[in-house]
Homo-oligomer: A and B are copies of this chain.
Amino acid sequence: MASRLSDDPTRDPAGDALAARFRAVRRLTLDLTAPLSDADATVQSMPDASPAKWHLAHTTWFFETFVLRDHVGGYVPYDPRFAFLFNSYYEAEGRRHARDRRGMITRPSLDEVRGYRAHVDAALSAALPDLPEAACALVELGCHHEEQHQELLVTDLIHLFAQNPLEPALFAPERARPVQAAAPLGWIQQPGGIVRIGHDGTGFAFDCEGPRHDALLHPHAIADRTVTNGEWAAFIADGGYREPRWWLADGWAWVKAEGITAPLYWEEGEGGWTRFGLDGRRAVDPAAPVTHVSFFEADAYAAWAGARLPTEAEWEALAADADTADGNLLDRAGAVAPRPGGGLFGDVWEWTGSAYRPYPGFHAAEGAVGEYNGKFMSGQFVLRGGSCATPRGHARASYRNFFYPHQRWQFTGVRLAKDA
């Protein structure tokens, strides 16, 4: 994982801010997993997902390996076997347990993994004041890395609990808000021209967010909100999932092979559509942004609506001045869910029409942490904006999330665009 760290002259030399951030990030992970039983934390519901225990341990292994092992003299690994169990895909770090067998590791237990976390947290907190700059950068990288896993943790848990016919709720439902209708969709006109996109070097970013560069926009309009559940139900009612002309060929093949008829976790009953989430099965809110749709579905919906998906440059140009403080992002553990009326940040990741490919001038970073982003640059599409499960500190205008076009267990949604 390669980062683009700021050269921020105001950075606290004693690392107090970093220490506070480290503690806060580590704390949130524990809070998110607080309601879990040992079994909840161990099972893997599909190869794309990982057990909660694995997320807890892997993020810890990251700090232990790249900070403590590499930068703290005399540090002895907590358990030398954990490197094999909890490495993810860092080929340079040697052999590792097969990804689709992560759910076989019933031991160490959840409590033991929490013990591992506590040990590494203590060691790292003790070492932090004396860490060299490069190691501090890795601590910051590790925090961002853990924030990524926090989001996966949440969505992997939803997927796991959805496999249980009892459909347990992980958190109590949020307090009900007054029902409101979605605002009519408005269009924001954009004249086109050259814009600067990509990370500007202020603050943290992953390597794939840069270099900052010129991009050429063509005149277009972009929707002022995301597509709602109510609009999606109209697409379904109009036969959207049965009509090949709206679909990419690969998407249509996917619809037929998997028997797709609605967003993931939706079920139709006598009382209408319901969805499953952190608070169990609930009625679909027609005013809230649709979520758990794949790129294929997003693209088909756009075709049906006479529109298209925005490019990532169009999205980023629009978001340049937006503030993550306004977004429905993840601040604390609970039954987070997309809410009506959100902005560019939070609620749902927005599929763009851009394939995930390197920016002009991109080079992968060297070494094990450099394996991260570059090697995934085929077959995936970029999503922008962050979701209700994205830690607030992790969202920014330049952030490039990416998934395969059939994947939809993240909080993924749709914003429309049109050629002007």
Residue ranges of A at the interface with B (Cβ–Cβ < 8 Å): 37-43, 45, 53, 81, 84-85, 89, 91-92, 97, 101, 103-110, 160-161, 163-166, 168, 194, 213-216, 218, 220, 244-245, 247-252, 295-296, 299, 308, 353-355, 357-358, 360-361, 371, 375-379, 381, 405, 419
13 cross-chain CB contacts under 8 A:
A39-B53, A40-B106, A42-B42, A45-B104, A106-B160, A107-B164, A194-B216, A220-B360, A252-B375, A296-B378, A355-B357, A361-B419, A379-B405
Given A43-B42, A109-B37, A357-B354 in contact, is the A81-B166 Cβ separation under 8 Å?
yes
Given A81-B165, A360-B218, A419-B361 in contact, is the A107-B375 Cβ separation under 8 Å?
no
A269 CB, nearest partner CB in chain B, Å: 17
Q: Is the CB of A39 within 8 A of B249?
A: no
Q: How far is the CA of A38 from the CA of B36 in the complex (A)?
A: 11
Q: How far is the CA of A37 from the CA of B39 in the complex (A)?
A: 8
Q: Is the CB of B216 within 8 A of A164?
A: no
A80 CB, nearest partner CB in chain B, Å: 11
Q: How far is the CA of A338 from the CA of B407 in the complex (A)?
A: 40
Instruction: Name which residue of chain B comes closest to A163, CB basis.
Output: B104
Chain B residues whose C-beta falls within 8 Å of the C-beta of A164 in the assembled complex: 104-107
Q: Is the CB of A166 within 8 A of B85?
A: yes
Chain B residues whose C-beta falls within 8 Å of the C-beta of A110 in the assembled complex: 39
Q: How far is the CA of A81 from the CA of B302 in the complex (A)?
A: 36
Inter-chain pairs besides A248-B375, A295-B378, 18 sampled, C-beta below 8 Å? A37-B109, A39-B43, A39-B53, A40-B106, A40-B107, A43-B106, A81-B165, A85-B166, A101-B163, A105-B164, A218-B361, A220-B360, A247-B375, A248-B378, A250-B378, A252-B375, A296-B378, A360-B419
Q: Is the CB of B166 within 8 A of A251?
A: no
Q: How far is the CA of A381 from the CA of B355 in the complex (A)?
A: 10
Which residue from B39, B85, B92, B353 sits with its C-beta under 8 Å from A42?
Answer: B39
